[in-house]
Amino acid sequence: MDITVIGTGYVGLVSGTCFAEMGHDVTCVDVDEEKVAQLSDGEIPIYEPDLDRYFERARAEDRLRFTTDLAEGIAGSKIVFFALPTPPGEDGSADLSYVLDAAGDVADLLVEADDPEHRIVVNKSTVPVGTGDRVEEAFADRGLDIGGEVDVVSNPEFLREGSAVDDFLKPDRVVIGTESDRAAETMKRLYEPFVRQGNPVLVVDRRSAEMIKYAANSLLATRISFMNEIANVCERVGANVDKVRLGISKDHRIGPHFLYAGIGFGGSCFPKDVQALARKGREKGYDFQILDAVLDVNDQQRRRLAEQVEDYFDGDLDGRRIAVWGLSFKPGTDDTREAPSHVIIDYLLERGADVVGYDPEAIETTKETFGDQIAYADGMYEAVEGAESLLICTEWHEFRRPDLGAVREHLENPLVLDGRNLYDPARMAEMGFEYHSIGRPSYAPETNQEAIEAAIVENGQP
């Protein structure tokens, strides 16, 4: 089948590549000329594990092409996907201009082409309920026959960055929102190879499909904020949130996922989608109180490490060198949109700290935000050299088992604030660190130099 994907970001590029992997002819359209030139040259502009393998194969077999020309992109295409940005507008509601403008442009081209072929226009962007109706209007207003020439379908995407390819190839479920049997059949055929293990393809009405996406993201974000509050109470009552998590996760009604306390959720989606759903509720006269709290808790949690380090130094961060490990909003991606690390860095810079950041993949994307306002280290140990504190913001694998003996020696002051609960607090204290994590007890650091050295020599790791 000939498929067009408009927008080649995290969702568009992964979707296009995976459809090509399943044997379809895919053309990806983007307005960003530099990106299209890069992709046409075989270069992937984002870091996403496994994407290169499928991308290279699809290109070698000429099933994946890139263009900035929308007319060329949609010519002969049976299905046109929108994978366009829907960023938050001033008031928190989703900015639909990218999607609606593209719908108008595609509709104009279809009118011009005057081709009787039936097309399916599929919205993969996360959009508020009712957006599908507005997209449909763009086609109907130009005289196109809805149901005859064009069907507008909602097909929300649930992939996670860092495991996007795997999530796309093996989705828990596929949601198709349409009232058209013909469109539903084509969409089911398209997704058949992705659900061989029996995961469901759910066909629902378009509005429900749009709502499913917001409900899923908002519930996941709620779990995270809830666990962060549990962690904050654990600290005050002397309980350990990691043990609490294990204890509740064994209840099959709760399950083990999305219960990790930390420094709040980031990324391009949870913050914006929770906000957009709360906003939509208000617009319809409904005050979605839980979601307001989810966002408030998250704002507070994302500032936490910065406030802690400020308290430690009695409010004086001026000129202090602070190391930050982990700049992306989660491991496995170079994406720094809404990353907790960036909220923390902003806070530290405002108070005059000298920040040095390290991340295995997200240095370049961080430079786009902070430029030379902070220093960038080539390695994790270089980052801590001479620093008065280490803040851990992302749980990349390489941070899980570092040589803590080396960290201890490099740090000028042994303060480690761990936003991802990577190490054993008791062992860290034994190694002479002043170590604080999220929702777990802290121990006074061992001050006996001999004991510290013995602990370091013993294993170098907690």
Ligand X SMILES: O=C(O)[C@H]1O[C@H](OP(=O)(O)OP(=O)(O)OC[C@H]2O[C@@H](n3ccc(=O)[nH]c3=O)[C@H](O)[C@@H]2O)[C@H](O)[C@@H](O)[C@@H]1O
Among 217, 218, 222, 389, binds ligand X (CB under 6 A): 217
Nearest C-alpha neighbor of 160 from the set 147, 169, 148, 150: 169
Partner from ligand X, ligand NAI, none contacting 265, C-beta within 5 to 8 A by type? ligand X
Partner from ligand X, ligand NAI, none contacting 8, C-beta within 5 to 8 A by type? ligand NAI
Cβ closer to ligand X: 127 or 159? 159
Is 284 a known ligand-binding residue?
A: no
Least Å distance between CB 348 and ligand NAI?
27
Is residue 93 helix, strand or coil? coil
Partner from ligand X, ligand NAI, none contacting 455, C-beta within 5 to 8 A by type? none
**Per-residue x/- marks for ligand X, 147-186, CB under 6 A?**
----------xxxxx-------------------------
Spacing of C-alpha 208 from chain mean position: 23
**Share in percent of the chain as helix, strand, coil (round to 5):** 45, 15, 40
Is residue 237 helix, strand or coil? helix
Spacing of C-alpha 124 from chain mean position: 16
Within positions 88 to 107, which residues make up the interface with ligand NAI, using CB under 6 A? 98, 101-102
Within positions 93 to 132, which residues make up the interface with ligand X, using CB under 6 A? 126
Least Å distance between CB 328 and ligand X?
9
Spacing of C-alpha 14 from chain mean position: 14
Task: Please tell me whether residue 35 binds ligand NAI under the rule CB under 6 A.
Answer: yes
Cβ closer to ligand NAI: 301 or 333? 333
- Cα diameter, the chain: 83
Q: Are 127 and 94 in contact (CB under 8 A)?
A: yes
Among 218, 268, 328, 366, binds ligand NAI (CB under 6 A): 268
> What is each CA distance from 280 to 88, 285, 297, in whole angstroms?
12, 9, 20
Cβ closer to ligand NAI: 74 or 404? 74
Note if 269 is an active site residue. Answer: yes
> Which among 18, 28, 234, 269 is annotated as catalytic?
269
Report the C-alpha gap between 460 and 351 in whole angstroms.
33
Partner from ligand X, ligand NAI, none contacting 57, C-beta within 5 to 8 A by type? none
Q: How many helices (H) and strands (E) does the chain have?
A: 19, 14
Among 40, 75, 85, 229, binds ligand NAI (CB under 6 A): 85
Within positions 250 to 289, which residues make up the interface with ligand X, using CB under 6 A? 258-260, 262, 265-267, 269-270
Report the C-alpha gap between 245 and 207 in whole angstroms.
35
User: Shortest Cβ contact with ligand NAI: which residue?
Assistant: 9
> What is each CA distance from 328 to 16, 340, 342, 423, in whole angstroms?
24, 8, 9, 20
Is residue 98 helix, strand or coil? helix
Within positions 109 to 128, which residues make up the interface with ligand NAI, using CB under 6 A? 125-126
First and final C-alpha spacing in the chain: 54
Report the C-alpha gap between 455 and 210 in whole angstroms.
54
Spacing of C-alpha 173 from chain mean position: 19
Cβ closer to ligand NAI: 94 or 190? 94
Residue for token pair 């802690």? 308
Report the C-alpha gap between 258 and 320 in whole angstroms.
35
Least Å distance between CB 365 and ligand X?
14
Partner from ligand X, ligand NAI, none contacting 217, C-beta within 5 to 8 A by type? ligand X
Size of the site for ligand NAI (CB under 6 A): 26
Which amino acid is located at 215 in the chain? A
Within positions 307 to 336, which residues make up the interface with ligand X, using CB under 6 A? 329-330
Report the C-alpha gap between 395 and 227 in whole angstroms.
17
Q: Which stretch binds ligand NAI (CB under 6 A): 30-38, 49-57, 178-186, 378-386?
A: 30-38
Is 261 a known ligand-binding residue?
A: yes
Least Å distance between CB 28 and ligand NAI?
9
Q: Are 214 and 273 in contact (CB under 8 A)?
A: yes
Spacing of C-alpha 402 from chain mean position: 25
DSSP 208: H
Length reported for the chain = 462
Cβ closer to ligand X: 20 or 220? 220
Within positions 142 to 181, which residues make up the interface with ligand NAI, using CB under 6 A? 157, 159, 161
Is 371 a known ligand-binding residue?
A: no
Q: Which residues are known binding-site members for substrate?
A: 158-161, 213, 258-262, 266, 330
Q: Which residues are known binding-site members for NAD(+)?
A: 30, 35, 86, 126, 161, 272, 337
Interface residues with ligand NAI (CB under 6 A)? 6-12, 29-32, 35, 83-86, 98, 101-102, 125-126, 157, 159, 161, 268-269
Positions annotated as catalytic residues are 269
Q: Which residues are known binding-site members?
A: 30, 35, 86, 126, 158-161, 213, 258-262, 266, 272, 330, 337
